[in-house]
DNA sequence: GTCTATATCGCGATAGAC
DNA sequence: GTCTATCGCGATATAGAC
């Protein structure tokens, strides 16, 4: 048995989310968070570079997920097909079951400007990882960048709508709806 | 004649940019910036909500520019046509002449994680303003959101490439190249 | 304009895992 | 022994209150 309870980062995350839900993120302090998790302030900053970061754990898996997305895509698919099928098959399963938690978290993030800003980094990381994947598939720099931005937009918008709805429609359905709408917007005839 | 030299915000911006170029943004302090601008620390925080903000003045015009973009677009244009022609006619002229300054500023922003994060907010503001504009043109929520994200991506990518190139190719040319590539990525046949 | 809270981080020590 | 996670103390700058 160790000197410390395991899962310090996760306990800090839970404590921070609970406190933020109760009092608002701006109103709580790092000492408050660490007190609830049974740790010290100094320890907090060893796990997270700043106060906001504690709400964005688990985000580090996103580039990994994007790598999976492209590894699992058939080589003859067009960029939009890669986006549509891969997000449906690889991303959606990862989010299933997290809906209630993600709704709570999103509520906190939306209520704080600093957190909203921090959240935009997630999209940026997705787009970066995606661009590398599309370049590996043979697209040139410009096309790879644009395709990855499209993918990031689809994830962002689809997950947002998935969390918005009262009925829990499968994320995979919403992803397909979103990619279809994207095609329509770009190819719409005058 | 007033008690203060005019243009406090602009002087602070210039001082901050110069100091950041010399020492790196993280290494400089607000008192250093205000000292160079001949002001007090308190005055700094009256003009800017935080230290990073001083490098992002002028950004507040972006929603206005986006409003212009949609006001000036012919009503029968498709979303992609609105993006292509409006960015070329309204956005590009606004950036002309700022290239050297923007390259310097971008160098500073790229070198600091906090500033990179803050910059993503610009894209977010553009997308929000754009979505409102596309809704006004009759697109439904989903399509308006996607079209605005496309527009934000085109601006981002096109301006980035414009600043990257050694030869000063007109921004309008690069915008057209970017929208063309976007169409190709989405409509590419298998 | 002054005062103060608190976010942030450097350093040294400690305690267990291996 | 080394490695890693933690603690405690202290310093500084941001940022907001008064």
For residue A179, the domain's CATH number is 1.10.357.10
Report pLDDT digits (tens) over A170-188. Answer: 999 999 999 999 999 999 8
Residues 63-82 of A with CB under 8 A from B: 76-81
Contact between residue A127 and residue B153 where contact means Cβ atoms under 8 Å apart: no
User: How far in angstroms lies nucleotide C11's C1' from the CA of residue A56?
Assistant: 28
Q: B164 and B179: one domain?
A: yes
Whether residue B2 lies inside any domain: the answer is: no
Q: A104 and A17: one domain?
A: no
Q: How far apart are CA A163 and CA A104, in angstroms?
A: 10
- The overall average pLDDT reported for chain B is 93
Q: B98 and B153: one domain?
A: yes
Whether residue A1 lies inside any domain: the answer is: no
Q: B70 and B18: one domain?
A: no
Q: B26 and B64: one domain?
A: no
Distance from B78 to chain A by nearest Cα, in Å? Answer: 6
DSSP classification of residue A139:
-
User: How far in angstroms lies nucleotide C1's C1' from the CA of residue B40?
Assistant: 9
Q: How far apart are CA B154 and CA B85, in angstroms?
A: 12
State the nucleotide closest to A31 in CA–C1' terms: C6
Q: How far apart are CA B184 and CA B179, in angstroms?
A: 9
| Statement: residue A90 has pLDDT above 70 | yes
pLDDT of amino acid A67: 83
pLDDT band at A5; cut points 50, 70, 90: confident
| Statement: residue B159 has pLDDT above 60 | yes
**B9 by DSSP, 3-state: which?**
helix
Residue B47, number of CB atoms within 10 A of its CB:
16
Whether residue A46 lies inside any domain: the answer is: yes
DSSP classification of residue B90:
I
DSSP classification of residue B51:
T
| Statement: residue A82 has pLDDT above 70 | yes
- Segments forming the whole domain that contains residue A70: 56-187
pLDDT (mean) for B39-62: 93
Q: Which nucleotides of C are covered by protein (CB under 7 A)?
A: 1-3, 6-11, 15-17
For residue A41, the domain's CATH number is 1.10.10.60
- The answer to whether A146 contacts B157, with C-beta atoms less than 8 Å apart, is yes
- The larger pLDDT score, comparing residue A141 to residue A60, is at A141
pLDDT of amino acid A2: 64
Q: How far apart are CA A160 and CA A106, in angstroms?
A: 9
Q: B46 and B74: one domain?
A: no
Q: How far apart are CA B28 and CA B19, in angstroms?
A: 7
Instruction: Show residues of chain A in contact with B116, CB under 8 Å.
Output: 121, 124
Q: B44 and B115: one domain?
A: no
Q: A18 and A40: one domain?
A: yes
Q: How far apart are CA A153 and CA A181, in angstroms?
A: 12
- The answer to whether B182 contacts A183, with C-beta atoms less than 8 Å apart, is no
DSSP classification of residue A72:
T
Q: B47 and B141: one domain?
A: no
Q: How far apart are CA A74 and CA A89, in angstroms?
A: 12
Report which secondary-structure segment, H or E, holds A136. helix A113-136
Q: A161 and A85: one domain?
A: yes
Tokens of A45: 């900053």
Whether residue A152 lies inside any domain: the answer is: yes
Instruction: Show residues of chain A in contact with B77, CB under 8 Å.
Output: 190
- The larger pLDDT score, comparing residue B59 to residue A93, is at A93
Query: Could you tell me which of A156, A162, A98 has the C-alpha nearest to residue A127?
Result: A156
Q: B31 and B125: one domain?
A: no
Report pLDDT digits (tens) over B33-46. Answer: 999 999 999 999 99
Contact between residue A25 and residue A115 where contact means Cβ atoms under 8 Å apart: yes
Contact between residue A114 and residue A52 where contact means Cβ atoms under 8 Å apart: yes
| Statement: residue B67 has pLDDT above 90 | no
Number of domains in chain A: 2
Q: How far apart are CA A10 and CA A189, in angstroms?
A: 50
User: How far in angstroms lies nucleotide D3's C1' from the CA of residue A2?
Assistant: 15
Q: B161 and B109: one domain?
A: yes
Report pLDDT digits (tens) over A23-70. Answer: 999 999 999 999 999 999 999 999 999 999 999 998 888 888 888 888
Tokens of B136: 């006004």
Whether residue A2 lies inside any domain: the answer is: no
Query: Is this prediction's pTM over 0.85?
Result: yes
Whether residue B33 lies inside any domain: the answer is: yes
């Amino acid at each position: 048995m160790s000197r410390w309870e395991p899962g310090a980062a996760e306990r800090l995350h839970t404590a921070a989310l609970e406190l933020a839900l109760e009092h608002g993120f701006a109103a709580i302090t790092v000492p408050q968070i660490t007190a609830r998790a049974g740790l010290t302030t100094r320890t907090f900053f060893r796990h997270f570079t700043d106060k906001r970061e504690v709400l964005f754990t688990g985000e580090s898996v996103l580039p990994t997920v994007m790598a999976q997305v492209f590894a699992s895509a058939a080589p003859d698919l067009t960029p939009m097909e890669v986006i549509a099928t891969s997000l449906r098959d690889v991303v959606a399963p990862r989010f299933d079951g997290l809906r209630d938690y993600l709704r709570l978290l999103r509520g906190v993030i939306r209520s704080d400007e600093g957190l909203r800003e921090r959240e935009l980094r997630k999209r940026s990381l997705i787009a970066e990882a995606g661009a590398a994947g599309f370049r590996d598939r043979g697209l040139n720099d410009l096309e790879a960048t644009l395709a990855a931005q499209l993918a990031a937009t689809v994830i962002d918008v689809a997950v947002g709508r998935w969390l918005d709805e009262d009925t829990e429609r499968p994320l995979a359905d919403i992803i397909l709806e979103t990619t279809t709408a994207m095609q329509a917007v770009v190819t719409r005839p005058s």
